[in-house]
Structures are given as C-alpha cells and as structure tokens.
Amino acid sequence: MLFRIAARNLWRAKRRTLITLFTVAFGVWLAVTFTGTGDYTYTNILDTGARLGFGHVTVEAAGYADAPGLDRPLRGAREVAATLQARPDVSRAIPRVVGQAMFATASKSVGGMFFGVDPAQELPAVNTLLAGLSEGALFDDVDGRGVVVGSVMAEKLGLRLGKRLVYTLVDEEGQIVSEVARVSGIFKTGVDEVDGSIALLPLGRVQKVVGYGPDEATHVAIFLEDHREAQAVADALRPAAARAGEEVRTYRDTQPEMAGMVELDRSMNYLFQALVGLLIGAGVLNTILMSVLERRREFGIMMAIGSRPAELFWMVVLESVLVGLAGLLVGAVLTAPWYVYMRDVGIDFTQMMEGSTAGGVLIDPVMRITLYPESAAAICAAVLLITVGAGLYPAWQAGREPPVETLKAL
C-alpha cells in the first residue's frame, strides 16, 4: 500500500519529478564519466610504470631498499621467480639486475640507469621500453654484448644501430669496471627523462661484469593482471620472504612519486564527485520537500483517521528511494551508449596532451572509460544514499505536526 501511494505521489507534479529524475541521471553520467576515466587512466599509468622495470610487486634482498646497490644481490633469483610464476595470482615473475652506470662514446658521456634483462623472458607486455622500440630490436643473446638505448641518449651520444658504447659501473665488490656493447635497438617512450637515462643490457653479461652468479639479481619483478591486487599479493609473500632474508615491496614503495600523483588525482576526483552529489541531493530534497509541504492537509487527514507518524515517515522515504531508483534507470539508459563509445573509441587529445607525464610515466592522450565492477556498485550505492538522505528531513517533517493543528492551520 505504501509503495502504491508513494509511486502515485511522485507523479502528482510530473514536471518537477521529471526534472529531478534527469538531474539524478545527469549525476550518474558525470559519475560514470569521471570514475571510469580515472579507472582507465590510473590503471594505464600504474601498469606502464610497473613495466618500466620493477613490476607491480618486487622481491629483493633484505635491506636493499635502504641502500640500493649492486652489493646487495638477491640470491636464488631464478628459484624465487619460478616459485612466484607458479602462483595463480602472478602473471609473470622475471629476475632483473638494475644499477647506475656511466655510458660513453669516444667523445661524450652521460649518466643513467641500466636494467640487465633476459631477452627470452622480456616482452612488450612486461617491458614498456620494448613496446617503444623505434629502431632495431632487443638483443637475442643473454650473454652477448648488445645494448638497447633511449632515443634521447642516442642523440646525446651520437649513437646509431651497430655503434659501440662503453658503460662503466661499480661492481659487487665496489670496484669500478667497464664493458663494451653495441647498439642493437633504440626505444622512444616519449618521456625524455626515460629516453635519456635508461639502457637495457643482457642479463648474463651484466651478471659477469658485476660479479654476480647466474642465479643472482638485484630483484625479481612480479607482474599482475590487476594492479589493485598488488598489496594483497605482497602481504601474502612477506612471511616466507622474511624467513628467506628477502623483502617484498609494491609499486607504491618502488615508485612513490607515480603512486602519490595517482592518489592525489583520485582524491581530487572524489572531491569533485562529492560536490556533484551535494547538488543532486539538493534537487531531490527540493522535490520531496515541496511535495510534503503541498500535502500537509492530506497527511493531517491520514493521521486523523489512524495513520501513525512512522507510516508517513516511511512513505516519504520510499518516495525518495523511488526517485533514486528511477534516476539510476534513466541514467543507465542515457549513459550506456556514451560508455560503450568511450570504452571502445575514446576522445583523442593528442594535440593538447602529447608528451604529458605523471610521475615519469607518459599519459595516454586518448581519453577512455573503463569502469570497475566495484566502481559501478559504488556509484549506484552513492546515488541511493544521497536520494534517501535527502528525503529524511521531508519524511520527518511529514509526521511531525499533530493532525488537529495541521487541519486547523489549513
């Protein structure tokens, strides 16, 4: 009975109710757009950052994070990687050696970072630098003398494919050592600080140069299908890692600048959506409150013939619930085509955003939307909470005044 009365009451003022429904629907569209854009952009940034070298989760020797250096190798790296690879929540686990080096030709030199990688295990899906190869290819010999450099470094040093490059570094014992390599490939990510300071070297050759054994590395990079699982995976690995004298860190620890910028942007996104939610709530409050004020005589008669204040309260609350549900339905219908287009095609802002970075990671200039299931559920819950919350005061007002005084006043 209450449901039928509440439904009829909403359509007494059809124009006002329709305006409110489309206000809620517009809020749903905004929420889907901003939340979906955030979900896509944050995932793209974090996955790209993870593929720069350290993964979503990193296993390394205990104490390495306090003083990163080649003098603290992770022993048994291959076994660690094989064990991790067997886990269903791990997509790839790859041993790597990372360190600082000086790269030089006959006339010029630059400082930078190197990653010792196994060409048999490296793919563009787990290595952003390989995805950006513009010339040549990754070396195919893990013990060879190839090197892949960034386009900015190649320009600074005057390098071309086949040219010789000398790199100098400090080995495990603290001795300065040098090795010669020939350029097999040049990558371009679009981020100058990456293209000008990072080089890929054969893992086996690097191990020999720095004095590592074939089963030693600085870390094992773990890649996940979903970056949101990083903390859970790290927490699951830490007990066993601690017993083995190892340390487990997530991308929040290995790339704090990138993670911090994502969190800051996400917070601003939530703040904006909260303001939109307040506007939606104000619209619903206006509709329900006006409806209650126009029906004071009706409420007085209902209370005079035996209706309890609680019944009037819940009837008005039910009206606000119906407004929320109807607004969600209209919003879903209006937003669905937009969502499909933005998910599959997107809007290209290349001319405006080309070269834009966040935490040293290139931002995709094509705006797309990908909505996580929990994000969609949160939007639905938020709309219902806002509409129900907006209806609480009018509902309280409906059953507040005694029936006799209400009828006398009218």
At residue 215, the pLDDT reads: 94
Beta bridge partners of 100: 113
Contact (Cβ atoms closer than 8 angstroms) between residue 302 and residue 405: no
Alpha helices by DSSP H, 173-308: 192-195, 203-210, 230-243, 251-254, 256-294, 296-304
Pairing of strands 109-117, 198-202: parallel
Distance CA(171)–CA(212), nearest Å, equals: 9
What is the distance between the alpha carbons of residues 275 and 280, in angstroms, rounded to a whole number?
Answer: 9
**pLDDT value at residue 241:** 92
Which helix (H) or strand (E) covers residue 404, if one does? helix 403-409
Q: Are the beta carbons of 61 and 217 closer than 8 angstroms?
A: no
Domain boundaries, the chain: 2-48+259-409, 53-254
The C-alpha angle 10, 15, 20, rounded to 5 degrees, equals 70
pLDDT at 31: 92
Contacts with 374 (C-beta within 8 Å, 6 or more apart), sequence order = none
Strand partners, 95: 220
pLDDT at residue 201, rounded to an integer: 97
Q: What pLDDT shows up at residue 246? A: 93
H or E element in which residue 216 lies: strand 216-217
Q: Residue 162's CB: how many other CB atoms inside 10 A?
A: 9
Task: Considering only CA atoms, give the Rg of the chain.
Answer: 30
> Going by C-beta distance under 8 Å and a sequence separation of 6 or more, which residues neighbour residue 7?
322
| DSSP designation for 189 | -
Cβ of 403: how many Cβ atoms within 10 Å?
A: 18
Residues in contact with 246: Cβ distance below 8 Å, sequence separation at least 6, in sequence order: 59, 60, 61, 62, 74, 80
Q: What pLDDT does residue 279 have?
A: 84
In contact, 226 and 139? CB cutoff 8 Å: no
Question: Residue 170 forms beta bridges with which residues?
Answer: 176
In this prediction, residue 8 carries a pLDDT of: 67
Tell me if 9 sits within 8 A of 295, measured CB to CB.
yes
pLDDT in tens, the chain (410 residues): 566 666 666 666 678 778 888 888 998 999 999 999 999 989 988 998 899 889 999 999 999 988 898 999 999 999 999 999 999 999 999 999 999 999 999 889 999 999 999 999 999 989 999 988 999 999 999 999 999 999 999 999 999 999 999 999 999 999 999 999 999 999 998 888 899 999 999 999 999 999 999 999 999 999 999 999 999 999 999 999 998 999 999 999 998 888 888 898 889 988 988 888 888 888 888 878 887 777 777 766 676 676 777 777 888 888 888 888 888 999 999 999 999 999 999 888 877 766 666 656 667 778 899 999 999 999 999 999 998 888 888 878 776 766 555 555 55
Q: Among positive and negative, which fits the CA dihedral 338, 342, 344, 348? A: positive
Distance CA 113, CA 48 (A): 18
Contact (CB, 8 A) for 334 and 25: yes
Which residues, at least 6 apart from 267, have a Cβ–Cβ distance to it below 8 Å? none
pTM for the whole thing? 0.83
